[in-house]
Amino acid sequence: MALKASASICPSSSSYPQLGSHDSNCGLTGGLNLRYDLDKCCNWKCCCTSLGLVAQRALTPVEDEKPTVPLVDSSLAADASHYNDSKAFHKDVNLLPRPLTAIDVSSSPRDGSKVRVAYQGLPGAYSEDAALKAYPKCETVPCDEFEAAFKAVELWLVDKAVLPIENSVGGSIHRNYDLLLRHRLHIVGEVQLQVSHCLLGLPGVRKEELKAVVSHPQALAQCENMLNDLGVVKIGSPDTAAAAKTVALDCVRDTGAIASCRAAKIYGLDVLAEGIQDDDVNITRFLILARDPIIPGTDRPYKTSIVFSLEEGPGVLFKALAVFSMRNINLSKIESRPLKQRPLRVVDDSNEGSAKYFDYLFYIDFEASMADPRSQYALGHLQEFARFLRVLGCYPMDTVL
């Protein structure tokens, strides 16, 4: 990736060979113009110099052009030193990786020793917990938005991305369903993570002292009973880890955060209460995305995700779902999203004028491998009345919480 990024700053990149290709003019052959070769070498020197600069910057986290958490001034940072005497941060928060942005085109060198996995949020987010569950020895790369994680994989900045797709309490994350269709990445796995919310505060603070609590809106909604009992003001944040970071940097004793225990360790906060969510069973399902699909097998339970749209007509959706039922294939998820290119369909099926109907895309997860003939026959049958059909991925099911 570094080669591709650097080639764009060379004087005449079109004259250079692509990565992995062979340039027959690079060797010394009779009759070559020495002046041309000298100029060409100079150009290559320019490229190599820029490559060296990329390599030197590789280990420096990318600066976020759109920080999701307001920066604090030096006076607040000085106040924070009061609490460092009793309990120091796990690491300086200013040294934590900055989230990648969607327009970031910088890359880092890879020695092949670790898988680089992108996630949305700051260090300590639940998405990072899911990435570490899938790849315990991976190098996690924070991104400020979901789309930035998609682009990081596409631009070869990372190997994988782990993004939430649904929660057992809050439901589906529609933004990521839309991004799955917009981008050409493949689902290669899933992770189910048990979410346990914790109430965090500055060292020495009791939960009864809190007047406000900061967290992601979903986390605030999932802990509504306890927050109402405390009578605190609820303040929204881009993610739970960002809320913990805000409390740690602002050093306001009457403000707490809802985040994970790991976030408390990273940002030097006390855990005032654990497991404060209203529902004990709170599970978030994450998808693992990659540039290339995996080869499906039948050695263990597999799941296949597809998206399709249908031709108009009575009972068409019933027919679409029946292709799985008649082959004894279980559907574990069905989600509909508006077809943005054709949001409305106008039909004239009565004497009273035209009727308007919404057109939809249907996302379906079914429990079968693409290596199973039943899946192939079912999709072949579905194509008979589907206007559009795309397989998003076939991947092993996560059966361990």
CA distance 369 to 389: 17
Question: Are 159 and 116 contacting, i.e. CB atoms less than 8 angstroms apart?
Answer: yes
Question: Are 269 and 201 contacting, i.e. CB atoms less than 8 angstroms apart?
Answer: yes
Nearest partner of 43 among 63, 68, 23, 72, judged by Cα = 23
Nearest partner of 247 among 208, 284, 203, 209, judged by Cα = 203
Whether 366 sits among the annotated catalytic residues: the reply is no
CA distance 246 to 87: 17
CA distance 143 to 152: 9
Whether 284 sits among the annotated catalytic residues: the reply is yes
CA distance 213 to 400: 32
Catalytic residue (choose from 89, 284, 304, 362)? 284
Please, is 136 exposed, middle or buried when counting C-beta atoms within 10 Å of its C-beta (0-12, 13-18, 19+)? exposed
Q: Which two tokens stand for residue 146?
A: 């979901």
Please, is 47 exposed, middle or buried when counting C-beta atoms within 10 Å of its C-beta (0-12, 13-18, 19+)? middle
Q: Which two tokens stand for residue 379?
A: 């999709």
Distances (CA, A) of 136 to 110, 139, 233, 241: 18, 9, 37, 19
Give Cα 230 distance to the centre of its chain: 33
Question: Are 113 and 68 contacting, i.e. CB atoms less than 8 angstroms apart?
Answer: no
93: number of Cβ within 10 Å: 18
Catalytic residue (choose from 286, 308, 362, 366)? 286
Pairing of strands 116-120, 160-167: parallel
Residues designated as active site: 284, 286
